[in-house]
Structure 1
Amino acid sequence: MSNSLSRSLPVLGNARRTSNEDHHGVVRHRSRSVSRLQRTSLAGPLPTKLGFSDEREKLAQDEGNEAQKLGSFSGVFVPTTLNVLSILMFLRFGFLLGQSGVLGMMAMLIISYAIDLITAMSISAIATNGTVRGGGAYYLISRSLGTEFGGSIGIVFYLGCVLNTGMNAVGLVDCFKQNFGVVSGSKSHFLYEGFWWEYLWASIILLLCTAICLAGSSVFSRASNGLLIVLLVSTFSIPLSACIRQPFRNERLGIEFTGFSSVSFFDNLYPRLTKGAAGSQIKRRENFQDLFGILFPATSGIFAGTSMSGDLKNPSRSIPKGTLYGLALTFSTYTIVILTLAASVTRESLYRDVNIIQDTNMSGFLIVLGEFSTSFFSSLMGIIGAAKVLQAISRDALLPGLSIFAKGTKKNDDPITSILITLAIAQITIFFDINQIASFVSMAYLMTFLVTNLACFLLKIGSAPNFRPSFHYFNSTTAFVGTIISGASMFFTDGVYATGCVCVLVTLFLLIHYMAPPKTWGDVSQSLIYHQVRKYLLRLRPEHVKFWRPQILLFVNNFESQYKMIHFCNSLKKGALFVLGRVLVTDDFATAVPVVRKEQTAWNKFIEFSKVKAFINITAAPNIEWGVRNVVLSAGLGGMRPNVVVIDQFRKDNSDASLDPGLPLVRPTRRTSSNLSDGEGDPLRKTRTDSFERDPPMNVQSYLTVLEDLLFQLRMNVAVARGFENIELPGTNDESPAKFIDLWPIQMSGEISSDGGRKCTNYLTTNFDTYTLILQLGCILNTVPSWKRSCRLRVAVFVEYETDVEEERRRVMTLLEKLRICAEVLVFWLASGDLQTYRIIVNGDRNNVDKVVLDAVEQVLEEEDWWNELGRYRTTSRSSRSQRQTPTGSGSTTPREGGRRRAGLEGLKRVIESSRRRSIGPGVSLGMQTHRLLDSMVEYNSDGNESSSEESDIDSYLSENENENEPEGNDPMTASDVPTINQPEETTEGTTAAATTATPSPRVMFMKKGRVASSAKFSSAPIPTTKVVSEEGTGPSIMFADSSPPRRGSATAAGLESIYNRNSGTASQPAVTSAEGDTENQPRASGYPSQAAVPLSFNDLPGRAQHLILNELIKSQSKDTAVVFTTLPTPVEGVSHDKASCEAYVNDLEVLCDGLPPCLLVHSNSVTVTMNL
């Protein structure tokens, strides 16, 4: 029989030839080894005899192991055939044929085999795409779909195999009981019956199967071949009986055997569903759902050969061949049995006798042997196949506690411990109801079919170049159809058990996902993600303002010191792009390449361990400026590019590496002793001191060059971070006192000169984009759950005088309402008397002032010329007043003295204004491209009045050079002289580069700055009214309205009038007493300068003085603040060329942020908010 089978399947009969080929391969390998040893001996000492013997013994052992491996026939074809030809053929085919008829049963058989065939093609495709090792279906799926899918389906398949083992053992005992039971036996009566007796017989069967499995694969193969012969003889005796046996009728059994009869065949052709037939398990009428659930398990054993993958000589070749030929044989056998049974037995016989095949066979003993062979092999295959799957899962360390099952014997790698634990579990399953076991087994097999087809489908559509299986008879359509049919069959057969099986699979998936260590197998999901990401990146267009979100590029240097800043930006990105930029400064690119790779590995490990959703972009450049430019220009891909660049503050002392989270300042060296990519330990603990040699500290001009490039050339939204090494992130400290996110959006004022260059006008520039970007970033941070739970959002603004407070509050709340931002609004007024720096600088009031504050002001401003000049003027003014006082203390002033005082103020104003103009020069930037307005764009309403040339008693301290360089005809403009400009600039991208609404500045006196590093100063003027564009267009939909300064108060007295509305005459004449009154008793506005002071406002002050005042204001309100967002004073373009100006700018920022909570200073070059739907 075996020879005839080999002749009928010539392709499968080449197992010996394959063995010879493998043998020759080993011989060739041995020859190469000997040659290698001989070549080695020419350069060194000859190998010892023992070493050569060890090599030869190892090769001989490999040859022996290879010889014991199985071929296509014994390793795949025989197990598949034995496992598919189920005992159900003998016990249930008569019942199925009686209910469904020939047409119905063949339809169900074809559907079952269609699922099997498609799945077999998917298995063949995956198995022929590379090396297949032990583990069967688990190995194929895990290496294709990844750890979670492979591990979960592997465990489900393992449980299905174990339950199938117990079910077949119980089924075999039931078969023996019906034939040889003391009570139920039809052939003999020697087998004891009863629950515990049946449990004993089933246990003996399992122990016998286990003993064969422990004996090794060769014993298993010989036993399988013998069982196959018995099964085929038993099966083909059915059509043989129909041919040679005479028709008969058995009244006791109620059956009638007609032999081959067309009448019987046509009577059994169509379905005829009944209730209560022999073999029925339900009380209602049968349906095709129940019948398919019984038939499909009889066809689902196609993974038997695949499970032997570890014992195959050539799995990639044997699995497709053996599985497909096994399916062909079993389908032919089933078809012959069904047609034979339908043509030889009446319909009534099928209803009455469930054991019709045995009762009509020429030898009932052959049928018993067939039932024994198929059940025994299924139990045998269930133990060995399940054990090998468990061994493979344990070796991959997917779940803790399984390592003990990973061991195998030294000779053949037989999974001894896995076999024993499988036996123990199978012993437990014997107690379960056999019908429930059968349902779960069916679900486990169908689930494995589904996932296998899914893996093949995804591999095919992923279009990975390395997916080139040598088996070509499949495509994505077949795999997809197999996936759908398998899933549908699960729920069609038994929806409850299908749902339970899916729940088990999902539970295992999650357990493995969170407990299994990372694997380097690679899975098809990466190919699919790549395919989809590429496709949608090509379709992604530049971001519309309606869907704007911060795509952050953060320049980093050290993940230990910048850990908190990285996590803060990760919270701020709002699900958008987050890139960590890294610059290595080097003059030797060849040396830098390995260092860049090590850095890439180290930062990727940091990102993985810290759970930050970021990318790393590393570049090497000869200097930091070019490195930053390269990173900014190259960061991102397609439509995903950074729109906010975050850099750290400039640090004057970078000597301590641990305190330097600023821009990268490292230089690669030739030392390679430190290996950042060795994978040992937590990457957070690794330092780069062994791999890099630090450059000298970054100079201030390089820092300003980087800042200017970002602001003016690259035109990015820029944020300068300060103090983030001390930020308390939510969740890190449950008792953190930080309760607020404070937003301080501050307006800027700047100088704009005409194209003639001689006319310079001060404007209040409403930097709407920066103002709203600060609000936007704060709102985004407050939407992060951890920040929302621990912090409240506050918007803090300030004006100078109390009369402006409520108007400012109303306008800010209106803006927030239109932007849909919920926040608490705080409005402060500087002239309240609470700010000591304001009293000292603006009012000249040094009484009741803390000496520490006074000394700090003097220390910060001691090198400022304007401050020294102002101090001398105030001193002279106080001396003059004390000398003018009468003995009676009336304080009256003569008209002559008042005139001399006014002349002195005019002279001081004229000299300081000329110095300021020499320092600033023409143009204004306000953090964006420098604008120079044409004369036609600015209308001047100068009154043409020349300032008085009258000498005063304070002219003595003015330098001659200042007087000589005073330009003619350039008097300071008063509030009534200054025009208003509203000129947003449209960029090529269609966004507004600078929605700048210029409103006349109320300044009356311009103070000279020692060095001008910033292009614009802060302003305390109330924000303009928010304007929403009524018609939808390409421009911004919300902006500040163009409006004149609002009136403040209804008082008509000059003392109650806001300083914004005072003209030059009023400003330059501090109230002079008349003959009837005394100025000391006249009412004044809140915070109005005293007589000892020059009449200044906050807007008149240079940047450093403003920073002092704002620092005290913010510091007084930020005791419970986690982070502060505020406006970045932008430098003048080109300031980086002058080191002194660079230092002045950096010092100004230090003054502003000194002692504050972590601050993010923001400047915007684009529109980030909209009112359009």
Structure 2
Amino acid sequence: MAELPVPELPSPLSRCSGRFTISTLLGSDEGARAPYAPTDGSGCDSAHPTQLSGSTLCSRTFGYNTVDVVPAYEHYADSKDGGDAGKGRPSLADLHSILKPDPGRLHAPVSDPQRSNGLPDAGSEEADGEPGKDPAPEPVRFGWVKGVMIRCMLNIWGVILYLRLPWITAQAGIALTWLIILMSVTVTTITGLSISAISTNGKVKSGGTYFLISRSLGPELGGSIGLIFAFANAVAVAMHTVCFAETVRDLLLEHNSLIVDPTNDIRIIGVVTVTVLLGISLAGMEWEAKAQILFFLVILVSFINYLVGTVIPATVEKQSKGFFSYRADIFAQNFVPNWRGPEGSFFGLFSIFFPSATGILAGANISGDLKDPAVAIPKGTLMAIFWTTMSYLVLSATIGSCVVRDASGSLNDSVVVGSTDCEGLACAFGWNFTACTQQQSCRYGLSNYYQSMSMVSGFGPLITAGIFGATLSSALACLVSAPKVFQCLCKDQLYPLIGFFGKGYGRNSEPIRGYMLTYVIAVGFILI
């Protein structure tokens, strides 16, 4: 390759011995370009900068240490002469975005290069806000206890805990009931570990389960699962509300105070209840969190009330219903299964109990409202699974040690201990339930009375309050989760005609339109 012509240099600068060969831009005062290429191994010794003090060439080229021509600055300057504002190059986020921003406004215009003082533009203060006006308040953020653990525990606990778990214990026995609980928890724990792995593998934004799935498995799976998950949570609002309404209806029926009739009372109470829950949700996440804490305290009080009731000596009325406090022989009899009815099978009872172990995604669904989702989601979810599992195991073991399977509830069935015409475990405690057991007409006992937990407790109305807290907290959690997930799905615009519901309001970007849609779906299923 032919060498470029070398300009004639003064004799003192023509030879600078050194290790580097340097090319630089030498130009006249008018900015003309003139290349320089060393010949005969000439160069500048950058290892001895003291030798360069008298060399204009070495002084101008020392520090480049390259054989490439230095780029001309004027080729990269942002000129605005002639009214050309210039167009910024799109960033990687702009290229990946499915939105269609104005190509002429991908970035803010570069500041005028003539402004060398570094001061902001005159209109920057007005752009940020009016002078003297307070800045916008920070959004509410929750930690792992208040934002994830309590929320998941409330969503896991439900009406099955109070009404069905004692009946499952009577059917499957304490041993198989524990096995059913542990099998269900194993499934939810694996799911919780998977969610924890995804949430700790990158930045987690709002969108909850949909965000985690779509960013890990792709928008195809995430979009389909997210849409179904949001709809399922909206329907779950109706289901939990109906459970609450049925409990209230039973109380009204017990006191002969029905509003219209048993069926329409459920609809009326359900619509009023879900409307109140909607008002709590629209008030903001801070008020919703306060309501959840209130429900949590009510459930804890109901648990303590139940445990205290198991150690209180049984009254005659409670004994007639099958409660005799802690007895080793009652524990031994209830330890083994006693299948009854069409649902009397292991997997039949497993299918009944398993829904009470779900609900572990309630904390992850509000990932956008957490201070540190990467820490809060794994820690809060796994702790919620642990504590709810312990509550299920303790409840099944304690009530299986105190209450017999069959009891008549009649005070006339008391007998003298040791009677020969009495059969069954209750005979040793002075009660003869043989007649109702043989005729299968017993109204009380673990196998027949769903309100056994209320009967055992120290104060029955507190158990009813616990049922209210469990159902309302689960309904409120689903009412918040469904719009949050659906909002993120709408913002990604994976489906047409749903972007209307993606708009957020307030400092927490509340999906008010999503709340209204969830409310309409819940009311529709309540009225069916």
Give the TM-score range, shorter chain: 0.5 to 0.7
Residue of structure 2 in register with 1:185 after alignment: 254
Distance across 1 between alignment mates of 2:305 and 2:299: 10
1:374 alignment partner, one of 463, 470, 476: 470
1:223 alignment partner, one of 277, 280, 291: 291
Q: Is 2:137 the counterpart of 1:64? A: yes
Residue of structure 2 in register with 1:330 after alignment: 388
Q: Is 2:481 the counterpart of 1:385? A: yes
Identity of aligned residues (%): 29
Matches within 5 A, 1:497-896: none
> Which letter maps to 1:274?
R
Distance across 2 between alignment mates of 1:354 and 1:271: 18
Q: Is 2:436 the counterpart of 1:365? A: no
Residue of structure 2 in register with 1:287 after alignment: 345
Instruction: Provide, for residues 404-442 of structure 1, a one-character-per-residue CA deviation record: whole Å limited to 9, x for no partner.
Output: 11111042200011110111111122245xxxxxxxxxx
Q: Is 2:268 the counterpart of 1:200? A: yes
Distance across 2 between alignment mates of 1:93 and 1:331: 12
Distance across 2 between alignment mates of 1:203 and 1:325: 34
Residue of structure 1 in register with 2:213 after alignment: 141
Q: Tell me the CA shift for residue 47 of structure 1.
A: 2.9
Cα RMSD (Å) of the superposition? 2.4
Distance across 1 between alignment mates of 2:224 and 2:192: 21
Give the 3 Å change call, closer, same or farther, for CA 162–61 of structure 1 in structure 2.
farther
Q: Tell me the CA shift for residue 135 of structure 1.
A: 1.3
1:355 alignment partner, one of 434, 451, 455: 451
> Which letter maps to 1:103?
A
Give the 3 Å change call, closer, same or farther, for CA 48–42 of structure 1 in structure 2.
closer
Q: Is 2:302 the counterpart of 1:234? A: yes
Instruction: Provide, for residues 662-699 of structure 1, a one-character-per-residue CA deviation record: whole Å limited to 9, x for no partner.
Output: xxxxxxxxxxxxxxxxxxxxxxxxxxxxxxxxxxxxxx
Instruction: Provide, for residues 47-101 of structure 1, a one-character-per-residue CA deviation record: whole Å limited to 9, x for no partner.
Output: 367634765889x9888324x1111111111110101111111111121111011
The answer to whether the 8 Å contact 1:394/1:405 transfers is: yes
2:526 alignment partner, one of 430, 434, 437: 430
Q: Tell me the CA shift for residue 301 of structure 1.
A: 0.7
Residue of structure 2 in register with 1:309 after alignment: 367
Q: Tell me the CA shift for residue 285 of structure 1.
A: 5.3
Residue of structure 2 in register with 1:830 after alignment: none
Give the 3 Å change call, closer, same or farther, for CA 316–61 of structure 1 in structure 2.
farther
Distance across 2 between alignment mates of 1:271 and 1:247: 28
Distance across 2 between alignment mates of 1:152 and 1:42: 52
Helix, strand or coil at the partner of 1:90: helix
Distance across 1 between alignment mates of 2:128 and 2:176: 63
> Which letter maps to 1:225?
I
The answer to whether the 8 Å contact 2:258/2:265 transfers is: no
Matches within 5 A, 1:25-104: 43-44=116-117, 46-47=119-120, 51-52=124-125, 55=128, 64-66=137-139, 68-104=140-176
Aligned residues: 377
Distance across 1 between alignment mates of 2:307 and 2:147: 28
Distance across 2 between alignment mates of 1:144 and 1:41: 47
1:297 alignment partner, one of 346, 349, 355: 355
Q: Tell me the CA shift for residue 41 of structure 1.
A: 12
Distance across 1 between alignment mates of 2:358 and 2:522: 20
Helix, strand or coil at the partner of 1:256: coil
Give the 3 Å change call, closer, same or farther, for CA 334–248 of structure 1 in structure 2.
farther
Residue of structure 1 in register with 2:225 after alignment: 153
Q: Tell me the CA shift for residue 148 of structure 1.
A: 1.5
> Which letter maps to 1:47?
P
Helix, strand or coil at the partner of 2:158: coil
Q: Is 2:338 the counterpart of 1:272? A: yes
Q: Tell me the CA shift for residue 244 of structure 1.
A: 2.4
Distance across 2 between alignment mates of 1:79 and 1:290: 29
Give the 3 Å change call, closer, same or farther, for CA 138–206 of structure 1 in structure 2.
same
Give the 3 Å change call, closer, same or farther, for CA 249–410 of structure 1 in structure 2.
closer
List alignment gaps of at least 5 residues for structure 2. Answer: 1-112, 407-444
Q: Is 2:197 the counterpart of 1:125? A: yes
Q: Is 2:327 the counterpart of 1:258? A: no
Residue of structure 2 in register with 1:109 after alignment: 181
TM-score of the pair, normalised by structure 1:
0.31
Helix, strand or coil at the partner of 2:274: helix
Q: Is 2:400 the counterpart of 1:342? A: yes
Give the 3 Å change call, closer, same or farther, for CA 146–363 of structure 1 in structure 2.
same
The answer to whether the 8 Å contact 1:142/1:148 transfers is: yes
Distance across 1 between alignment mates of 2:222 and 2:192: 18
Distance across 2 between alignment mates of 1:366 and 1:155: 38
The answer to whether the 8 Å contact 1:169/1:376 transfers is: yes
List alignment gaps of at least 5 residues for structure 1. Answer: 1-39, 276-283, 433-1173
Q: Tell me the CA shift for residue 177 of structure 1.
A: 1.4
Instruction: Provide, for residues 1129-1160 of structure 1, a one-character-per-residue CA deviation record: whole Å limited to 9, x for no partner.
Output: xxxxxxxxxxxxxxxxxxxxxxxxxxxxxxxx
Residue of structure 2 in register with 1:164 after alignment: 236
Residue of structure 2 in register with 1:441 after alignment: none
Distance across 2 between alignment mates of 1:117 and 1:262: 33
Q: Tell me the CA shift for residue 292 of structure 1.
A: 0.9
Q: Tell me the CA shift for residue 107 of structure 1.
A: 0.2
> Which letter maps to 1:204?
V
Instruction: Provide, for residues 1078-1117 of structure 1, a one-character-per-residue CA deviation record: whole Å limited to 9, x for no partner.
Output: xxxxxxxxxxxxxxxxxxxxxxxxxxxxxxxxxxxxxxxx
The answer to whether the 8 Å contact 2:343/2:349 transfers is: no
Helix, strand or coil at the partner of 1:301: coil
Helix, strand or coil at the partner of 1:170: helix
Q: Is 2:479 the counterpart of 1:412? A: no
Instruction: Provide, for residues 478-533 of structure 1, a one-character-per-residue CA deviation record: whole Å limited to 9, x for no partner.
Output: xxxxxxxxxxxxxxxxxxxxxxxxxxxxxxxxxxxxxxxxxxxxxxxxxxxxxxxx
> Which letter maps to 2:203?
T
> Which letter maps to 1:258?
F
The answer to whether the 8 Å contact 2:147/2:370 transfers is: yes
> Which letter maps to 1:137?
T
Helix, strand or coil at the partner of 1:343: coil
Distance across 1 between alignment mates of 2:468 and 2:357: 18
Helix, strand or coil at the partner of 2:203: coil
Distance across 2 between alignment mates of 1:63 and 1:132: 23
Distance across 2 between alignment mates of 1:222 and 1:117: 27
Instruction: Provide, for residues 1050-1089 of structure 1, a one-character-per-residue CA deviation record: whole Å limited to 9, x for no partner.
Output: xxxxxxxxxxxxxxxxxxxxxxxxxxxxxxxxxxxxxxxx
Distance across 1 between alignment mates of 2:114 and 2:208: 43
Helix, strand or coil at the partner of 2:204: coil
Runs ≥4 in structure 1, deviation > 2 angstroms?
40-58, 60-66, 188-197, 244-251
Distance across 2 between alignment mates of 1:63 and 1:141: 32
Distance across 2 between alignment mates of 1:401 and 1:357: 49
Q: Tell me the CA shift for residue 43 of structure 1.
A: 2.3
Helix, strand or coil at the partner of 2:137: helix
Bigger Rg, structure 1 or 2: 1
Higher relative contact order (CA 8 A, sep 6+): 2
The answer to whether the 8 Å contact 2:249/2:265 transfers is: no
